[in-house]
Amino acid sequence: QVQLQQSGPGLVKPSQTLSLTCVISGDSVSSNTAAWNWIRRSPSRGLEWLGRTYYRSKWFNNYAVSMKSRITINPDTSKNQFSLQLNSVTPEDTAMYYCARDPAAGGPFDYWGQGTLVTVSS
Amino acid sequence: SYELTQPPSVSVSPGQTASITCSGDKLGDKYAYWYQQKPGQSPILVIYQDNKRPSGIPERFSGSNSGNTATLTISGTQAMDEADYSCQAWDGSTAVFGGGTKLTVL
């Protein structure tokens, strides 16, 4: 059974960097089939895919066009986890953030983290 | 960029059939996925590859996808099915979600 456990601060000041971590159990961040994603939900935008990282003999990343200049998703193989960094946040980045597994890099999101409510406020 | 459009809300009486649509350009050429989310919970996958149900999802949930529209159908809707439902598809290497539909069972 795959489990994803998120951690990170719930309050970030405007213009600063949002950082979240997702620890994986029951699978590997280095899996040759799965991909590891960050998704957020806000009342105004519904679910919004932010990006993913996956390993296919080397590491790949894909990011939502709307995030591309501000986002970094990194794997950490030593801790079997992956992280999200979102720079220059504004109040519009206030949302519930989720990590999620896609078992086939182009399939469904079948396992989700518990969610982290991040508020951007001074 | 690719967009998926859902109605903001759908209402259904208990025991009746609820249909939630998701529209996108040539969506039928892609796989559609559906997620259920209740307040305070993480989303749950209820339909994958247009019409397949993951283990543990009741048979009353079904899906179809053709042309420009994917449809999630809930037969014999129960009060516990009241939730937000979101469709999702892949546009190349980018995942796209619909705006979500709030299903009210009344």
Q: What confidence category does residue A45 fall into, taking pLDDT thresholds of 50, 70 and 90?
A: confident
Question: Residue B1 carries which DSSP code?
Answer: -
Flag if B88 and A108 touch (Cβ within 8 Å): yes
Q: Which residues of A touch B90 (CB under 8 A)?
A: 106
A120, pLDDT greater than 80: yes
Which chain A positions have a beta carbon within 8 Å of B56's beta carbon? none
Q: Name the closest residue on chain B to residue A38, using Cα atoms.
A: B95
B-chain residues near A112 (CB < 8 A)? 42-44
* B63-68 average pLDDT score: 98
Placement of tokens 């996956």 in the chain: A54
Beta carbons of B90 and A112 less than 8 Å apart: no
* Predicted confidence (pLDDT) per residue in B22-43, tens digit: 999 999 999 999 999 999 999 9
8-state DSSP, B67: T
Check whether A59 has a pLDDT greater than 80.
Answer: yes
pLDDT band at B2 (very low <50, low <70, confident <90, very high): very high
Measured between CA atoms, the residue of chain B closest to residue A97 is: B42
Instruction: Check pLDDT > 80 for residue A68.
Output: no
Q: A81-86 and A71-76: which strand pairing?
A: antiparallel
Q: What is the pLDDT of residue A43?
A: 84
- Report CA A121 to chain centroid distance, whole Å: 21
pLDDT at position A82, please? Answer: 98
- For residue A85, the model assigns a pLDDT of 98
* Residues in CB range of A4: below 8 A, 6 or more apart: A22, A23, A24, A25, A99, A100, A101, A111, A112, A113, A114
B57 near A CB under 8 A: no
A65–B43 C-beta distance less than 8 A: no
Residue B80's pLDDT band (boundaries 50, 70, 90)?
Answer: very high
Q: Which amino acid is at A106?
A: G
Mean pLDDT of A55-83: 95
A40: Cβ contacts below 8 Å, ≥ 6 apart: A47, A48, A50, A95, A96, A97, A98
Task: Look at A49 and B1 and tell me if their CB atoms are within 8 Å.
Answer: no
Region B41-59: mean pLDDT is 97
**Is the pLDDT confidence value at A8 over 90?**
yes
Query: What residues are paired with A41 via a beta bridge?
Result: A47, A96
Which residues does residue A40 pair with via DSSP β-bridges, in sequence order?
A48, A97
CA distance B87 to A114: 20
Task: Tell me how close the Cα of B2 comes to any Cα of chain A, in angstroms.
Answer: 11
Question: Residue A11 pLDDT > 90, yes or no?
Answer: yes
Q: Which of A47, A52, A65 sits opposite B43 (nearest CB)?
A: A47
Q: Evaluate the CA torsion angle B62, B91, A107, A109 in order and state its sign.
A: negative
Mean of pLDDT values over A67-82: 95
Report how far apart, in Å, the C-alpha atoms of B7 and of each of A116, B65, B96 are: 27, 16, 16
* Interface with A, mutate which of B42, B53, B87 (most A CBs under 10 A): B42
Question: Residue A113 — very low, low, confident or very high, per pLDDT cuts 50/70/90?
Answer: very high
A97 pLDDT higher than 90: yes
Residues 7-46 of chain A with CB under 8 A from chain B are 37, 39, 41, 45-46
Share of chain A above pLDDT 70, in %: 100
Tokens of A90: 């504004």
Average pLDDT on A93-112 reads 95
Closest residue, chain B, to A44 (C-alpha): B99
pLDDT at B104 over 90: yes
Average of per-residue pLDDT across A8-13? 95
